[in-house]
Amino acid sequence: MNFLRSSLFAIVQSFLTIVFSLLALLTFPVKPFARYRIIFLWNHIVVRLARLICGIRYEIKGLENLPDHPVIVMAKHQSAWETIALPTLFPPMSIVIKKELLMIPFFGWGMRMASPIAIDRKAGKEALKQIVAQGKARIAEGFWVLIFPEGTRVKAGEVGRYGIGGAWLATHTKTPVLPVAHNAGEVWPRNSFLKRPGTVTVSIGPVISSEGKKADALNEEVKHWIESEMKQLPHA
């Protein structure tokens, strides 16, 4: 049954990706925020389809921690689910991505129009300059920023290396960080075609100030909160 559900979901998701990618190209004359909301309707629809077809629901803890100003959201990375769902839970966000993703047919076309922060992760210190330059511009426009500090998806129960990019952007723009933990990898495992029914718990932590902090110290503070919270989350 999970195979049939996952297959149907993949077919519908692929069709929607093509449709919305072509629609995204037509939004070029539209202002960034309006363009974002049009393009990310795809995310809202896919999250609902994941619930209806695959039985993947979610609940949110910590909504009281949401600020009324732009922040840098640093989130756990276990699954494709959070890359789709998190932008539906927060105000318009500029997502930090590998620039190679922009070259993917259809998906990359749509993402290019959604005001991302696209960086060359192999560029070392130059990548940090790219994050700050693009991130500063996006924050000035009123966008929040979403980054997955582990860089790549990790297996549920594991801890990846936390890259310093998000904390570097926070300290160099004096922007607070909002840490997010979740257990999406239990129902939508990394690199897995099969998905199983369950409830993802998304936990939003308190805002962490970047004022007067070094990037590495801030990064460790964020990592400590996320990984400590991961141990408290119920199984999906």
Q: What would the 3-class secondary structure string for the chain be?
A: CHHHHHHHHHHHHHHHHHHHHHHHHCCCCCCHHHHHHHHCHHHHHHHHHHHHHHCEEEEEECHHHCCCCCCEEEECCCCCHHHHHHHHHCCCEEEEEEHHHHHCCCHHHHHHCCCCEEECHHHCHHHHHHHHHHHHHHHHHCCEEEECCCCCCCCCCCCCCCCCHHHHHHHHHCCCEEEEEECHHHCCCCCCCCCCCEEEEEEECCCECCCCCCHHHHHHHHHHHHHHHHCCCCCC
Q: What is the pLDDT of residues 39-56, one digit of tens each?
A: 999 999 999 999 999 999
Residue 71 burial by Cβ neighbours in a 10 Å radius (0-12, 13-18, 19+): buried
The domains of the chain, with CATH numbers, are: 2-230 (3.40.1130)
pLDDT at 28: 86
Spatial separation of the C-alpha atoms in residues 149 and 162, rounded to whole Å? 5
pLDDT at 39: 93
Which residues of the chain are under the pLDDT cut of 70?
A: none
pLDDT at 105: 86
pLDDT at 70: 96
How many residues in total does the chain contain?
Answer: 236
pLDDT at 1: 86
pLDDT at 103: 86
Q: Going by C-beta distance under 8 Å and a sequence separation of 6 or more, which residues neighbour residue 59?
A: 199, 200, 201, 202
Spatial separation of the C-alpha atoms in residues 24 and 185, rounded to whole Å? 29
Q: What is the pTM of this model?
A: 0.94
